Each structure stands twice: as C-alpha cells, then as structure tokens.
Amino acid sequence: MLTDLLQYLVNGLIVGALIALPALGLTLIFSVLGFVNFSVAAQLTAGAYAGWLANTTLHLPLVPVLVIAFSVAGALGVVTDRIALAPIRRKPSAQTPLMVAVVSIALSMALESAYRFSFGSGLNSFDMPIARDMKIGGIRIGLQQLHNIEIAIGLAVLLALFFSLTKLGKAMRAVADNADLARLKGIEPVRLANLATFIGMGLAGVGGALLAIDTSVDPSTGSRLILLIFAGSVVGGLTSLPGAVAGALLMGVIGELGLLILPPVYQSLTAFVAILITLLARPGGIFSGASGVRK
C-alpha cells in the first residue's frame, strides 16, 4: 500500500514537472502582459511538433530537439501575439483583458486547425531509444521521465537566475509588479512584452516536446492539457513563478492521488475543482500570505 502511494506520488511529480513548464509560461505572460493567454495550448503543441519533426527527419538527439522546440514555439508565440492579440490589447477598456482572452482561444483554435491540416489527426511518436524503467525500492520510474524532471527543474532554475540577476529580468519583474511605475523609469514595454511572450511560449514548447517524447503528439495535445496547466498556474497565484512550479507539482500529485477515488477519465475534474476553490477562497494563490501579498 505504501509503495502504491509512493508510486502515485512519483507519477504525480513526473506529470507535475511537465505541466510546470507551460504553467510557468502562462504565469509569466499573465504577470507581464496582464491577460490570460489561452493560446499556450497551441504553442505547447507547436513545440511538440517542432521537436518531433527535428527528431524524426533530422534525427537530432534530445537537447537540440528541445532547443528547437523552445525557439519555434517562442517565435510562433511572438509572431501570432503581434498579429492577433496586440491590436486588441491596445484598446483600453474594461472588457479588454477578457476580449484578449477570448481572441487567444480563437488563436489557439486557428493554430490547432493549421496543425490538423498539415499533419492530420494521427498520433506521432518520437524516434528515441526507449530505456528500461528503473526500479528503486519497488517504485517504477522511466529514465526519460527522470530526464524530464531534471530538465524542468533546470529550466526553472535558469529562469529564476534570469529574473534575479539580469537587468532584463529585473525590468520584467518591475513591469509585472507595476507597469506604470516601470514605464516612468523608462522601461520599454513592447520589447519586454515580446520577450515575456517568447520565453513563456518557449517554455510551453519545451513542455510539449518533453510530453510528446514520453507519449506522442497530435493536434489536440495542448488543448487536452489546458485545464491542468491553468490549474497549476492559478493554484500558484497566476503571478508568482515559484508558485506556478509548486502549483503544477501539486496538481500533478493531486491528479494522480485522485485516481484512488476517481476513474482516470475524470482527472481534469480535480484540475477544475482546484481552480474553482483557489479562485474563490484564495485568488492570490494558495501560497500567498494571510495578508494577500503575492509578490
């Protein structure tokens, strides 16, 4: 029983680590640009497809595949953001954050149908060597999954360093904290918005590629996960990067433990309930202090 429980815990952390990357991206974009970008789903799929193409046609190994996934998803994210979303963001009105959110869903749908048009609806698997699962004290864990966790942690650490050490990172945090004050200090918002979108969507792309290596990629890979990604981000407070990682890991574990009482098909239900409870009870995320201070 205890090993079963531990196995669920490990599986949950594996799922959570993968979800953490797109959740980080979503949180980053929400912090800096102030709207919920549903097209994270489509960019995640873009990264997965880019990685799959790089791997199956060019026979590249893991690391270059991930670099390509990051760049393609990031670049596509910026381009589509400039074309589709930026013109709507410019109209200042009470409805703007919502309008941008709705349009980002349409954008996600447009991209998803473009993938379906180009690659068909089938499942595409990577051509990676399959390593035998390791067993540590009765708990089964795949080598690739172990790599996934390492990469996710590595990227999160890199991101943390970027935000605490570099000037750009600090500027971005300033904008996230108070856009008006940041502008007074001469920080230029457009470039930062693009950079935040590039990094955010790139992270989603890497998450998508890792996920697809573990399973497979099809046009709906991202949209199937969007609820779980949102749950990670929302539970973490939507504006806190460490919160997004913690939230995603938590959601992964809760989702797996939920399997003890729920049939597997209802895994999204735990995500939905978590989103609902967090938004209602602690809109600042479950890690916010009692006074509601988030940053």
Partner 1 sequence: MISYLIFVGTIAGFYSLLSLGLVKAWGQGGLVNLGLVGFVGLGAYTSALLSGAGYPIWIDWIAASAVSAAVGVALCFVVRNLRGDYLAIVTLGFAEILRLAETNEKWLTKGSDGISGIVAPLKNHLGDNFAVFYLVLTWVLVGIVAFVLNWLLRSPFGRALRAVRDDEQVAAVAGKSVLRLKLQAFGIGAALSGLGGALYAHFTSYIAPDVFITQLTIYIFLAVTVGGYTRLAGAVIGSLALIALLEATRFVAALVPGLDAVQIASLREFAIAVTLILVMQLRPDGAFRMSNERSGLGASRPGPDACYGKKAVLDDGT
CB of 133 to partner 1, least distance (A): 29
206 vs 217, beta carbon nearer partner 1 = 217
DSSP secondary structure, 132-191, as one string:
PPEEETTEEE-HHHHHHHHHHHHHHHHHHHHHHHSHHHHHHHHHHH-HHHHHHTT--HHH
91 vs 140, beta carbon nearer partner 1 = 91
- CA dist 30 and 24 (Å) reads 10
Q: Is 89 in the site for partner 1 (CB under 8 A)?
A: yes
Q: Is 62 in the site for partner 1 (CB under 8 A)?
A: no
Q: Judge whether 294 and 30 are in contact, CB under 8 Å.
A: no
Q: Is 105 in the site for partner 1 (CB under 8 A)?
A: yes
Segment contacting partner 1 by CB under 8 A, of 65-73, 126-134, 160-168, 274-282: 274-282
Could you give phi then psi for residue 124, rounded to 5 degrees?
A: -120, 125
Q: Which two tokens stand for residue 106?
A: 């349409």
CA 14 to chain centre: 14
User: Which residues inside 177-216 make contact with partner 1, applying CB under 8 A?
Assistant: 179, 188-190, 193
Residue with tokens 């799922």: 15
List the one residue out of 177, 181, 198 whose CA is nearest residue 240: 177
User: Which residues inside 234-263 make contact with partner 1, applying CB under 8 A?
Assistant: 234, 263
Among 79, 110, 134, 158, binds partner 1 (CB under 8 A): 110
Interface residue list for partner 1 (CB under 8 A): 32-36, 38, 84, 86-103, 105-107, 109-110, 112-114, 116-117, 120-121, 175, 179, 188-190, 193, 223, 227, 230, 234, 263, 265-266, 268-269, 271-272, 275-276, 279-280, 283
